[in-house]
Amino acid sequence: MFGLEGVRKSLEESIKEVIREKFSLEMNVVLERPPEGFGDFSYPLYDLVKNLRKSPEELGKIIISSMDLKNIERVEIKGNYLNFYADSLSISEDFINKIRESGREALNFERKNRKVILEHTSANPTGPLHVGRGRNPIIGDTIGRLLKKYGYDVETHYYVNDAGRQSAILVYGYKNLKLDVNEKKSDHRLVPYYQKASELIENDDQAKLEIEKIMNSVERGDVNTIMENREILGLVLEGIKQTLSRINVSFDRFYWETDLILNGSVKRVLEMLRDDMKEEEGAYYIEVELKGKREKVFLKRKDGTSLYFTRDIAYHLVKSELGDEMINVLGEDHKPHAEMLLQVLKKIKGNINIRNVFYSFVALPEGRMSTRRGRVVYLDDLIEESVEKAREEIIKRRNDLDPEAIETLSEKIGTGAVRFNILKIQSEKKLVFKWEEALNFEGDSSPFLQYSYARASSILRKESWKGQYSKDLVRDQAEVALLKMMLQYPEVIEDASRNLRPYRVAKYAIDLASAFNIFYTQCPVLKEREELKQNRLAMVHAFRLLMGDLLDLMGIEHPEEI
């Protein structure tokens, strides 16, 4: 892999070998990113000083004199740290050569030969996705893209909850109520049926009884009831798919909860946990510890039917057989459930591997967005308003586009703004969606990234790069800054992938675009003499390649012209 990441790994191996040979110690060597002005990598000497009782300066000199310092400009001993300054210009030649030889394939990582089952979104199929949980599909989809880039095999799942009370309420309402509904989109069209049925069961004992019959039939594995329900719930799911498709989210597999009942997975779970279960008034539960307290988690009702928790255990056991690792993207309100679930799963399968990414809900500024649909603001509303605001901005900026081009560009910019404004904030931090930030063409936004990509594309349309590049022709500080920023790409992707932090990609994309725009302003490209022009075209070409890749990783379209 090109860039500073390759240099870092080479340094770590070299330091480790020196410590083994010179000091007869086996140590894990991890280089740190130092503060600005202290080099590109730092190695802390604290553990060596403690083990060998020698001064940092003495140890540092031994290490430096014994190392292969290829692509390192200089090394300094500062306090208890070895600070390494990379020779970015030499590294840039290798980077540009790989880009010239392999194009975008140069950005690929080695295959990991591990499969990840990534579950995200999994909203109940009883109505449209709402803004509050709009982070889930965007974070989940981006994590999936990152892991694929990093070399994992990834299978994305949407777990369709069709065995619960909410699903039964919708099915009852749709089958029994006559309502005049004008909504075209299927998930919105079924909302009034769910709402009316929910109101009915407050006072209508017969309706309540019918809904319980639907639930019991499903939980006992009645195939006809399950398949009839899926037809109705599938209408909602189809509408959800349309919403997700609009923001470039798709799934490899939709796993229906009731399949776990039909294929016997739930029965097997109850059998595996039989010795750990306790009885209470005919129902059965298992005890887990949550925040220092013993909690009861019920797995089977007194009528013998299972509960959601039981089926979730079964689903995770299925997933554990499909891949080497499981990742779930969940709202912060699911933390207790996830903790208890893992405890129970470890009773069955001690080596089970689950990583959870929790997110805080999306909020909108008070009074800044209206909706015709009542109390809830749906994700569809957010997307539509973002596209409309993008359309208004494009019309102000471009008077030469035909209506079709305006619509296409509005969709790409508007949906990109939704994705990026959600991705750029760490998932665990609260997020208030602000239009003035999301659609700002000059700042920390998706339009800024798309515009920077289009600017690079425009330069290369006027004159293409012929493959020439030399570090000796790099003269301006803005060129050096852009090259150093591009060389960080592998490190950023590795960190974002290994630690499931997609916001790192968003932040890096902004930093990279900012470096490119400073370069564009300070370093003329097309008006320079041929040799220097080709050198700078190489940088524009490389930037365009990286920015296109970053936008793809974030699920954001990158038009060639804005």
- CA 131/CA 473 separation, integer angstroms: 50
Q: How would you classify the pairing of strands 362-363 and 278-280?
A: unpaired
Residue 420: CA atoms inside 13 Å, Cβ hemisphere, count? 33
Closest by alpha carbon to 137, among 119, 117, 110? Answer: 119
Residues (pLDDT < 50) of the chain are: 367-374
In this structure, is the dihedral angle defined by the CA atoms of residues 11, 17, 21 and 26, taken in order, positive or negative? positive
Check residue 3 and give its pLDDT. 76
Contact 378/128 with Cβ under 8 angstroms? yes
- What is the amino acid identity at position 539? M
The first and second tokens of residue 340, run together, are 């208890």
Distance CA 200, CA 254 (A): 31
Q: Give the pair of three-digit tokens for residue 510.
A: 């902004």
- Give the number of other CB atoms < 10 A from CB of residue 254: 14
- Non-local CB neighbours of 395 within 8 Å, separated by 6+ positions: 406
8 Å CB contact between 244 and 250 = yes
Helices 503-522 and 477-486 cross at an angle (nearest 10°) of 160
* pLDDT at residue number 373: 41
Question: Can you give the pLDDT at residue 226?
Answer: 97
Query: What's the pLDDT at 305?
Result: 85
Cα 258 to Cα 219: distance, rounded to the nearest angstrom: 8
Please state, as a whole number, how many other Cβ atoms lie within 10 Å of the Cβ of residue 428.
11
- Sketch out the chain's domains with CATH numbers: 4-86 (3.30.1360.70), 88-115+440-562 (1.10.730.10)
E-assigned strand segments in 301-361: 325-331, 354-359
Secondary structure tally for the chain: helices H, strands E: 22, 13
pLDDT, residue 65, reads 92
Output the DSSP codes for 1-43: --SHHHHHHHHHHHHHHHHHHHH--------B-PPTTS-SEEE
133 token code pair:
């949980």
Q: How high is the mean pLDDT of the chain? A: 92
With contact defined as beta carbons under 8 Å apart, do 273 and 344 qualify? yes
DSSP alpha helix (H) spans, 426-527 = 435-438, 446-462, 477-486, 489-498, 503-522
Q: The pTM is what? A: 0.92
pLDDT at 370: 40
